[in-house]
């Protein structure tokens, strides 16, 4: 069997606002648009990925929050209605997606061998989290590629960002090893935003872009600092500064997705492509691609 590979790694945030603004047939609420900078960013990412042959999307979403270990969707098919509990006015989405259970199980087993607490999720009534659905839609609206969906272990809440990173680095290595052994070509996706301080009010027209801006200057500075590291091939510095970033920018990287992503890419020292940056009710969101296929070491 040919050796598998990670062909691209992406930071692919999941605000439901982006799906809402697009008015796809799967989503019930309708809008007059909005957040175009980010949606054009996703357009560029989709265009880029369409030129890279891949078999599977591997995603870690901060909205499947597990406190007891890391979980993997473990059935081959899920469908249903996803309603965002925080923005139900924006996101009521009918989803239908397939899981690459074989690869999920392989990552699960590798992670278990590495000493992580892991579990397969095999309850057919389970509702897939809206972060996975949103990122899944923005990256591949047809949902025509199988996915591996990994929960976000909230070890940061129990211990510290340092412990979270240790576990996520390990999970990243397990993910990478399993993908290489599988013979499949995978795109790995961390579904999280950067700075994460929300506004606590919403305008009558949620897509009113005259109201949209970063929550504070400090949040902007942090976002730009992290993006700069991404664009200049300094992923290790992101790992190094993750504790400060996570605390001071209340960053959604606390869910481990970004650390895990960088670990699956063996902490890349080549530049990433910034497809877009924008704010969503005050939070900072970047769409970033590491074009691994240009930097294969094998």
Partner 1 sequence: MANPIVASYVVPVHPHPLLVPEKNEGWQRLRNAFDEAREHIAQGDADLMIIYSTTWPSIIGHQIQADPNPTWTLVDQDFHDLGSMDYSFRIDTDFAEAWNSANHARGLQSRTVAYNGFPIDVGSVVALKLLNPDNAIPAVIVSSNVYANRSETTILAKSCLDVLKSTGKKAVAVTAMSMSNRMFTEFIDAADDKIHSLKDDEWNRKVLQFLEEGRLEDVAQLSRTIHQQIRVQKVVTFKPMWWLSAMNDNRNDLTGKVLAYEALHGAGGAVVHLDPTSNGMGDKEYDEDDVEVYRGDRNVLDAEDSTVPHPVDSTNEGPDLWDPAEGEGAVNTDSAPKPVGLYPHARRVGDLLYLSGVGPRQPGTNAIPGGPIRDADGQPLEYDIKAQTRAVVENIARILEEAGSSMEKVVDVTSFLVDMDRDFTGYNEVWAETLGHYGPTRTTLAIRALPTPIAVEMKVIAKI
Binding site for partner 1 (CB under 8 A): 64-69, 71, 80-81, 83, 85-89, 92, 117, 119, 121-123, 125-127, 129, 151, 154-155, 157-158, 197-198, 200-202, 215-216, 218, 281
285 sits in which H/E element: strand 283-290
> In sequence order, which residues have a C-beta less than 8 Å from that of residue 268 and are 6 or more positions away?
9, 233, 235, 262, 290, 292, 295
Closer to partner 1 by CB, 250 or 267: give it: 250
37 sits in which H/E element: helix 36-50
> In sequence order, which residues have a C-beta less than 8 Å from that of residue 224 and are 6 or more positions away?
none
Closer to partner 1 by CB, 8 or 280: give it: 280
Closest approach of Cβ 230 to partner 1, in Å? 26
> In sequence order, which residues have a C-beta less than 8 Å from that of residue 91 and are 6 or more positions away?
16, 19, 20, 27, 29, 82, 83, 84, 130, 134
Half-sphere exposure of 88 (CA within 13 A, CB side): 3
Say how many C-beta atoms besides its own lie within 10 A of residue 242's C-beta: 24
Closest approach of Cβ 92 to partner 1, in Å? 6
User: CA 86, 40, 260, 184: dihedral to nearest 10 degrees?
Assistant: 120
d(CA 253, CA 246): 6
Closest approach of Cβ 207 to partner 1, in Å? 15
Closest approach of Cβ 127 to partner 1, in Å? 7
Closer to partner 1 by CB, 166 or 181: give it: 166
Closest approach of Cβ 17 to partner 1, in Å? 12
Closer to partner 1 by CB, 120 or 267: give it: 120
Closer to partner 1 by CB, 104 or 155: give it: 155
CB 293 within 8 A of CB 52: yes
Closest approach of Cβ 22 to partner 1, in Å? 19
Closer to partner 1 by CB, 69 or 271: give it: 69
d(CA 240, CA 237): 5
């Amino acid at each position: 069997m040919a050796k598998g590979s990670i062909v691209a790694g992406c930071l692919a945030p999941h605000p439901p606002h982006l799906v809402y603004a697009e008015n796809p047939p799967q989503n019930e609420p309708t809008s007059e648009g909005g957040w175009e900078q980010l949606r054009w960013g996703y357009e560029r990412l989709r265009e880029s990925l369409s030129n890279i042959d891949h078999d599977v999307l591997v995603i870690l979403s901060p909205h499947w929050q597990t406190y007891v270990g890391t979980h993997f969707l473990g059935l081959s098919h899920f469908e249903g209605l996803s309603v965002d509990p925080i923005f139900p006015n924006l996101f009521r989405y009918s989803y239908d997606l397939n899981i690459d259970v074989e690869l999920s199980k392989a990552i699960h087993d590798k992670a278990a061998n590495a000493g992580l607490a892991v579990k397969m999720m095999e309850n057919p009534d389970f509702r897939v989290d809206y972060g996975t659905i949103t990122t899944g839609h923005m990256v591949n609206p047809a949902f025509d590629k199988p996915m591996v969906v990994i929960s976000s272990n909230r070890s940061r809440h129990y211990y510290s960002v340092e412990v979270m990173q240790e576990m996520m680095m390990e999970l990243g290595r397990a993910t990478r090893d399993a993908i290489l052994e599988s013979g499949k070509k995978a795109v790995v996706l961390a579904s999280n935003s950067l700075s994460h301080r929300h506004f606590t009010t919403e305008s009558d027209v949620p897509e009113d872009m005259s109201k949209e801006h970063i929550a504070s200057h400090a949040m902007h500075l942090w976002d730009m600092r992290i993006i700069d590291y991404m664009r200049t091939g300094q992923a290790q510095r992101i790992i190094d500064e993750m504790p400060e970033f996570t605390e001071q920018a209340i960053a959604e990287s606390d869910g481990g997705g970004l650390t895990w992503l960088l670990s699956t890419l063996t902490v890349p020292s080549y530049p990433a492509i910034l497809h877009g940056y924008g704010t969503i009710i005050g939070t900072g969101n970047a769409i970033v691609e590491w074009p691994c296929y240009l930097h294969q070491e094998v």
